[in-house]
Amino acid sequence: MLIFMFHVHSFIKCILLCGSGWLFMSSELKSWSDSRQYCRDHGADLVIINTEEKQRHISSFTKERVWIGLSDRENEANMKWVDNSPLKQGFWLKGEPNDQNGNEDCIELMPSNPVLNNWNDLPCSAKRNVFCEK
């Protein structure tokens, strides 16, 4: 297992688990729920991207498709972050979210797409890399 860690503001990589304000990514592929539990087990939660600056930094850092802490699992078409705050600004791929087949409730970031338009909804059971925020 490979874990990357960096600070939200300075993006200094570190080896040990860091304190508040750090992001870390695991190379393990997990469902959205398992990813969230993995983050919680490490004193964190799935990443919340609520600014354009943070969206740019995370998109430029990762080369893998990763889960972010956004879903409409509780109430269809009502996107909420893992801290229960509502989505105010989204960075969606064209045509997303589309809830294809009525079961796309969790959100991934797809870094191979334009930085400000790379979110996609998909089934929460899909396997993606874990991206946590502490």
* Amino acid occupying residue 16: L
Whether pLDDT at 13 is above 50: no
* Amino acid occupying residue 4: F
pTM for this prediction: 0.86
pLDDT in the model for residue 22? 81
Task: Catalogue all structural domains in the chain, each as residue range(s) with its CATH number.
Answer: 3-133 (3.10.100.10)
CA separation for the pair 93, 110 (Å, rounded):
9
Report the candidate in 25, 41, 18, 46 with the shortest Cα–Cα distance to residue 124: 46
The region of weakest confidence among 6-15, 36-45, 124-133 is 6-15
